[in-house]
Amino acid sequence: MKPVEPVENEVKKGNLYGLGIGPGDPELLTIKAHRILTSVPVIAYPTMESGKVFARAIVADFIRPDQIEVPMPLPFSVERSSQPYYDIGAEKIAEHLEAGRDVAVLCEGEPMLYGSFMYIFNRLSKRFHTEVIPGISSTFASAAMLGAPLTFRNDVLSIMPATLEAETLRDRLAVADAAVIIKLGRHFAKIKTILQELNLFERALYIERATLPNQVIKPIAEVDPDNVPYWAIVMIPSQTNPQ
């Protein structure tokens, strides 16, 4: 007996996945992110107007030719707001979801921690079933690459962007048991001065592009402030480390 086909008045909407894909080493994807990435029909990712597509590069070996790719251009200049760009990207993704196709949006590192996916999440999570898959943050991958235990027991950890004003950075660093300063780039000289003022410079560790083939680890005293990439991190591990 042939089963009766259900009458469907409308297409079932697709699922939206925010995929944390980690700091750069493709092996640092989770099994779950890999499974979703290789099973969805549509993959979306931010691209820079300059042509850089870092998120896609991390997982390039896992993408198949039959998967639809949706690049989402973002402005190259930090002077321009990226919000109108996310409006356009979100609508391109929504078209696939409305047509019943699941979409995985690639997000470097951990999506909920300064992640680009949050802007898509804010635009679409009320309209479509949305699942966020956590990823390895470059913050903690850096601690692993540096071989530096970060926090013990009762330590407070603060994660802060180097883009903040010097006074705020100084106040937060002064009370943190352990700290990670991200998004260094052209702010390195300011950070160096603050760390010296707080007697933290000797404890600080420096790493560029953690887990990537061009990763650099060097003593912080040898860093040239004029050549610090955005993807550099300064880490101040806890001193309560029991030996």
What character string, x for contact with a copy of itself (CB under 8 A) and - otherwise, covers 167-196? -x--xx--xx--------------------
Site for a copy of itself (CB under 8 A): which residue of 15, 38, 47, 158?
A: 158
* Distance from C-alpha of 125 to C-alpha of 118, rounded to nearest angstrom: 10
Q: Decide if residue 141 touches a copy of itself (CB under 8 A).
A: yes
Cα separation, 199 vs 226, whole angstroms: 23
Widest Cα–Cα separation across the chain: 82
Q: How far is the CB of 232 from a copy of itself (least distance, A)?
A: 17
Which of 27, 167, 202, 226 contacts a copy of itself by CB under 8 A? 27
Is residue 200 close enough to count as binding a copy of itself by CB under 8 A? Answer: no
Print burial letters for 177-211: b (CB count within 10 Å at least 16), e (below 16): bbbbbbebeebbebbbebbeebebbebbbbbbbbb
Stretch that binds a copy of itself, among 49-57, 68-76, 120-128, 222-230 (CB under 8 A): 120-128
Nearer to a copy of itself, 2 or 153 (CB): 153
Can residue 154 be called a binding residue for a copy of itself (CB under 8 A)?
yes
Q: What are residue 19's phi and psi, to 5 degrees?
A: -100, 110
CA distance 13 to 202: 55
Residue 46 binds a copy of itself (CB under 8 A): no
Residue 57 contacts a copy of itself per CB under 8 A: no
CA distances from 191 to 198, 214, 230 (A): 11, 23, 13
Binding of residue 50 to a copy of itself (CB under 8 A): no
C-beta separation of 206 from 231 below 8 A: no
**Residue 53 corresponds to which amino acid?**
V
Binding residues for a copy of itself, total number by CB under 8 A: 61
- Cα–Cα distance for residue pair 192/181, rounded to 1 Å: 11
Kindly state the smallest distance separating residue 117's Cβ from a copy of itself, in Å.
Answer: 9
Among the listed residues 1, 66, 153, 226, the single contact to a copy of itself using CB under 8 A: 153
Task: Judge whether 24 and 210 are in contact, CB under 8 Å.
Answer: yes
User: Which of 51-59, 108-116, 191-199, 219-227 is the region at the interface with a copy of itself (rule: CB under 8 A)?
Assistant: 108-116
CB of 1 to a copy of itself, least distance (A): 37
| Per CB under 8 A, 51 contacts a copy of itself | no
Query: Distance (Å, rounded) from C-alpha 211 to C-alpha 142?
Result: 8
Instruction: Give, in order, the Cα–Cα distances in Å from 184 to each of 4, 18, 124, 201.
Output: 61, 26, 31, 15
> Under the rule (CB under 8 A), what is the footprint of a copy of itself?
18, 20, 22, 25-32, 34-35, 83, 110-115, 118-119, 121-122, 125, 130, 132-137, 140-141, 143-144, 147-161, 163-164, 168, 171-172, 175-176, 241-243
